[in-house]
Amino acid sequence: MSIISKFRLDALVSAFVTVHPHEISALLHSAFCFFFILSAYFVVLPLRDEGAISLGLSNLPSLFVGSLVLTLIAAPVSSHIFSLPNLSKGKALVLIHRFFSVSLVVFFILWQSSSTGHYSKGFFTMFFAAKEDPKDYGDQSSSISSVGWDKHGWFYVSVRIGFFLWVALLNLITISSTWARVIDVMDSESGARLFGFIGAGATLGQLFGSLLATVMAWLGPFLLLFSAILMEFAARLSEGINQDMPHPGEELSLIRDADPSHENDSEGLGTSAFKGHSPKSNSTMKPHPGAIFDGMMLILSSSYLMCVALFLWLSAVISSFFYLQKVGIIAITVTTSLGRRKLFALINSFIAVFILAGQLTITVTTYVVTRPGRELLFTVVSQDEKYKAKICIDVFVQRLGDATAAGMYKLLLSTLHGKTSTISLYALPICLLWIVTAIYLGRRQSHLAHLQAGSMS
């Protein structure tokens, strides 16, 4: 890149966010990596939701529980990849993204093979079909609430269950792994400046993927191939998330070793996690397959991490609860598969526009709505807590929230005799508790960030 073009790029990025020249490469690679991850996810999300509806609304809570089980199995595998001695964290991230890219192509083949009318078609014909057959789902004329797994063949059911669980896993593992890499190369100060810009990239990815899914909804499962290409772009861009910056865990460890007031965990971060680890050992620490269990112990010994876990559990409960509400309403009111997919994608587009507007106006690209904000919470913890506790929170706590919401929804649905409008009222106390927890955590993180900044001055 020439000096002139680099200067223009620096000036363009600086117009949107306060960034130092040595941070621009990592910032742009992070933002565009999230753009393609979220694009890939939201391209196939309406297809996943429609496939779940075709199995019957009463089975949705079971799918959420299945997602929890699969995540508990897959998370240690993901951690093991990052712990391989001959594989850098950057290359491990590329490997994870590329693995999910290939898996989307595999699911395209399975989806096409399991759909009605494709059993007798050859492989070449399956790939070059003009568009999906609306009769593939066979649910246009039947009541969606009465549809069950027994209405379809085992292969059809298995593919759609597997796809629902796999897309949820893709969303969790790729985003969590990428954020772990980002917060590994950025401290609290740079995160406060740059996470908003990175989050805006993710929101633009949601908008792009949702609009593509809306316009190209008639392609049906062929959108899986578009999603696979987008994930490959994310894999290539993740290689550039590499920045030589101080690790916040190292700085905070020095504060605690020097200040006896932290011996009783007065800041609630679990000082036991820091003792016995020099800055050098922290900087080379990598996750391992048992990190999720170690992370649970770190969370229980830290009031700060327990609050983080509570905040993210409540977030997952609220998000999943209203997702079930949305799916139930759309399933009942929209009668065609194509119409439901379009509506799902359109709703996702409106949500992306709303979030982006908030990022560009209310938060001024500094502290962003939920995801970048939650990642900022981990910039003031040690490397040990960052990898072990964060993995546990991202994997177990979040999926436990999904399963909790599914159980609550199923119980309320049977208790209130299917009155979905009344069910929403029961989520209000949870929303209020979530807001209070968020305000408290914001103040705690700000306090710890000031301590960290003071140690560097």
Q: Answer whether 287's CB lies under 8 Å from 368's CB.
A: no
Residue 81: per-residue pLDDT = 77
* CA atoms within 13 A of residue 48's CA, in its CB half-sphere: 25
- 336: DSSP letter: S
Task: Say which residue, 226 or 114, is predicted with more confidence.
Answer: 226
What's the rounded Cα separation, in Å, for the pair 148 and 46?
20
What does 142-153 look like in DSSP terms, one character per residue? Answer: S-GGG--GGGS-
How far is Cα 395 from Cα 389, in angstroms, rounded to an integer? Answer: 10
pLDDT in tens, 117-146: 444 444 444 444 434 444 444 444 344 444
Residues 173, 251: Cα–Cα separation, whole Å: 28
Contact 413, 423 (CB under 8 A): yes
Question: DSSP states of 2-63 as a string?
Answer: -HHHHHHHHHHHHTTS---GGGHHHHHHHHHHHHHHHHHHHHHHHHHHHHHHTT-GGGHHHH
Return the percent helix, strand and coil in the chain, to nearest 5.
Answer: 80, 0, 20
In a domain, 428, yes or no: yes
Q: Is the pLDDT of residue 299 over 50?
A: yes
Which of 240, 187, 262 has its CA nearest to residue 33? 240
Higher pLDDT: 5 or 187? It is: 187
Place 222 in a pLDDT band, splitting at 50, 70 and 90: very high
Question: Per residue in 320-336, pLDDT tens?
Answer: 888 888 888 888 888 88
**From the centroid of its chain, how far is CA 102?**
19
Looking at residue 64, which CATH number applies to its domain? 1.20.1250
Q: Decide if pLDDT at 174 tops 60.
A: yes
Residues 2-48: tens digit of each pLDDT: 555 666 766 777 777 778 777 888 888 999 999 999 999 999 999 99
Q: DSSP characters for 307-319?
A: HHHHHHHHHHHHH
Number of domains the chain is built from:
1
Mapped onto helix, strand or coil, the DSSP state of residue 208 is helix
CB atoms closer than 10 angstroms to residue 368: 25
Quote the CA–CA distance of 443 and 311 in Å, as a whole number. Answer: 14
Where residue 173 falls among pLDDT bands split at 50, 70, 90?
confident
291 or 396, higher pLDDT: 396
At residue 292, the pLDDT reads 65
Closest CA to 396 of 46, 134, 74: 74
Write out the two tokens for 1: 């890149």
From CA 234, how far away is CA 170, in angstroms rounded? 13
Residue 169 has pLDDT above 50, yes or no: yes
- Which of residues 243 and 49 earns the better pLDDT score? 49
Kindly give, in sequence order, each residue whose CB lies less than 8 Å from that of residue 26, ignoring residues fewer than 6 positions away: 185, 186, 240, 241, 242, 243
Kindly report, residue by residue over 92-108, the tens digit of the pLDDT.
899 999 999 999 999 99
The parent domain of residue 305 ranges over 21-456
The yes-or-no verdict on residue 274 having pLDDT over 50 is no
Q: Which two tokens stand for residue 163?
A: 């796809």
Share of the chain above pLDDT 90, in %: 18
Instruction: Collect all residues with Cβ–Cβ distance below 8 Å to 427 and sequence separation of at least 6.
Output: 318, 321, 322
Asked whether residue 303 carries a pLDDT value surpassing 90, the answer given is no
Overall average pLDDT of the 249-262 stretch: 38
Evaluate whether residue 9 is within a structural domain.
no
Give this prediction's pTM: 0.72
- Whether 248 is in a domain gets the answer yes
Residue 85 belongs to a domain: yes
For residue 297, count other CB atoms closer than 10 A to its CB. Answer: 15
| Residue at 143 is within a domain | yes
Check: CB of residue 251 under 8 Å from CB of residue 189. Answer: no
Task: Tell whether 121 is covered by a domain.
Answer: yes
Handedness of CA 17, 22, 26, 32 (dihedral sign): positive
Residue 14 counted as domain residue = no
Highest mean pLDDT among 107-121, 286-300, 303-317: 303-317
Mean pLDDT of the chain: 75
Q: Does any domain span residue 12?
A: no
pLDDT at 260 (0 to 100): 37
